A and B are shown apart, each in its own frame.
Chain A
Amino acid sequence: MIQRFLIVLMIVAAVSLAAIPLDVRAQTKPDDAAAFVGVLGSETIKVLQSQSATLDQREAEVRRLLRENFALDQIGRYVLGRAWKTATDDQKREYLELFSEYVLSTYAKRLGGYTGETFSIIRSETVGTKDAVVMTQIDRPSGPPLVAGWRVRNVGERMVILDVIVEGISMVTAQRSEFASVVQSQGIEGLLQTLRLQISKFAAQSS
């Protein structure tokens, strides 16, 4: 299962994201990328295991970690595809705000709630000419382990995450395809309207 996943992962990773416009000085070293993901993973697990924090507080902290370590503007720009070139400055600014909100709220909820998780690095290797992909396994108290790949780029002063790949599906590629359908159907203003409306989902109710 993991071997098949790795093959799919490498294909997806090789064809996507190479075009993300980020200053790069050299090929990201796999060991450096693994160390970066390892530290970030440990920080996240520490947040999740905090006994004193509420679920909202844990999610907020995970959200902060994601915001600090994801190259959200660059990912957002890539995800919008060709529409980026024709968008006005105001549209670009609002789109990046909405995209960040959309990604952070989605992933903070998906990663931010669990307790009792453990996290390990399976392997790390170069992909394309700029990046490294770090394979991780997240074990939960119940259910099957979650295998996730993190595409990392060294941008000089620090590392940033460019994509998350779960079960062979690149978050960025999937999102790009989804947004392209909306833009094709309703233009960039239609996409902005949809995003504005979609960020008000109700969370779990206590009563």
Chain B
Amino acid sequence: MIAFPTTGLKMKRIGRRSAFAVMVLIGATVSVSAATFEEGWREYQEGDFPAALEIWLPLAETGDARAQFNIGLMYDEGRGVAEDSKAAAEWWRRAADNGSMHAMHNLALEAIAEAGVSGDYTEAVTWLRAAADAGSVRSQYSLGKMYQYGLGVERDDTLAATYIEQAAEMGFDRAQYNMGKMYRDGQGVPKDEAKSAEWFQRAADQGYAKAQNHIGIRLAKGRGVDKDVVRGMMYLILAAEQGHGAAEQNVGDLRAMAGDGIYEQAATLAEAWEAERLDVY
């Protein structure tokens, strides 16, 4: 049983509800539902979580998977309601029943957290597979990691690489970074320094700090890629700016070797650099 918070109705919401009722009566249900979800989203973006909840709740109760998923997240993070992981899972199950891949994925992560103690990853794999089948790229990646670790499935590095590379091709930065490591180590794929550098580069271009550290070192040394100390230093600076500890150390080491001039050039490039982020589900 989910306990819902009681929130005082504001005048603007009374007005919104009245308008909703009138428009339902005149048969404009579909367009109003879409608009109402958007209104909830605007309140959410503005940080008025109780207002977002109030708008989304009726939609969720009538089967809107987006509203069900977002309400689950609000319970999970304690936004606008008291934090309640059971209520979050309940809403996510309802959203998953209505086809939400996001809910399936988050349920898998909850199952992974529980399995950390029990050791039983069966439920997690089931949810990940369902979410991957529904189109979730990051679930595809996570499923690959389950095969890589042998959690809930027989360990299979080749299958792991297949799933992770598919997610990487779709633009998921973490998967791209992992492919960089897998081609470097020959794990599930043949060793290939050039491909390793290429994947690190693609993740680095999206702003992924760990990959920036790797490609930074590779560019500085010319490993799997043409040597370019300035660009190498630039990626190291970018990673360090994100708080990557090893990159901070590497910036210092490379600066000591290459000199202040190289560092200054790289810092200028880093200042103008912009991540090319891909929106991946």
Which residues of A line the B interface, CB within 8 A? 48, 54-55, 58, 67, 93, 96-97, 100, 109-110, 113-116, 141-143, 181-182, 185-186, 190-191, 193-194, 196-198, 200-207
Chain B contact residues (Cβ within 8 angstroms of A): what range? 35 or more
Q: Is the CB of A196 within 8 A of B145?
A: yes
Q: Is the CB of A141 within 8 A of B119?
A: no
Known A93-B246, A186-B119: A197·B145 in contact at CB below 8 Å: yes
Most chain-A CB neighbours within 10 Å: which of B37, B77, B105, B245? Answer: B77
Chain B residues near A141 (CB-CB < 8 A): 48, 50
Q: How far is the CA of A200 from the CA of B77 in the complex (A)?
A: 15
Q: Is the CB of A197 within 8 A of B142?
A: yes
Chain A residues near B81 (CB-CB < 8 A): 143
Q: How far is the CA of A141 from the CA of B5 in the complex (A)?
A: 14
Chain B residues near A100 (CB-CB < 8 A): 243
Q: Does B212 contact A (CB under 8 A)?
A: no
Interface on chain A toward B: helix, strand, loop, or mixed SS?
helix
Q: Does B184 contact A (CB under 8 A)?
A: no
Chain B residues near A109 (CB-CB < 8 A): 77, 79
Known A204-B70, A205-B70: A197·B117 in contact at CB below 8 Å: no
Please, could you name 28 A-B residue pairs with CB atoms under 8 Å apart, sorted by A? Answer: A54-B45, A55-B44, A100-B243, A110-B78, A110-B79, A113-B79, A116-B47, A116-B48, A141-B48, A141-B50, A142-B80, A143-B50, A143-B80, A185-B119, A186-B116, A193-B151, A194-B112, A194-B113, A194-B116, A197-B109, A197-B112, A197-B142, A200-B105, A200-B141, A200-B142, A200-B174, A201-B106, A204-B74
Q: How far is the CA of A114 from the CA of B70 in the complex (A)?
A: 16
Interface on chain B toward A: helix, strand, loop, or mixed SS?
helix
Q: Other than the known A110-B79, A198-B112, A200-B105, what 6 A-B pairs have Cβ atoms closer than 8 Å? A: A48-B47, A55-B47, A114-B79, A115-B47, A193-B149, A205-B69
Contacting A at CB under 8 A, from B108-153, are: 109, 112-113, 115-119, 138, 141-142, 145-146, 149, 151
Select from chain A the residue with minimum beta-carbon distance to B52. A204
Which residues of B line the A interface, CB within 8 A? 5, 7-8, 37, 41, 44-50, 66, 69-70, 73-74, 77-82, 102, 105-106, 109, 112-113, 115-119, 138, 141-142, 145-146, 149, 151, 174, 210, 243-246, 281
Chain B residues near A203 (CB-CB < 8 A): 73
Q: How far is the CA of A133 from the CA of B109 in the complex (A)?
A: 34
Known A48-B47, A93-B246, A193-B151: A142·B116 in contact at CB below 8 Å: no
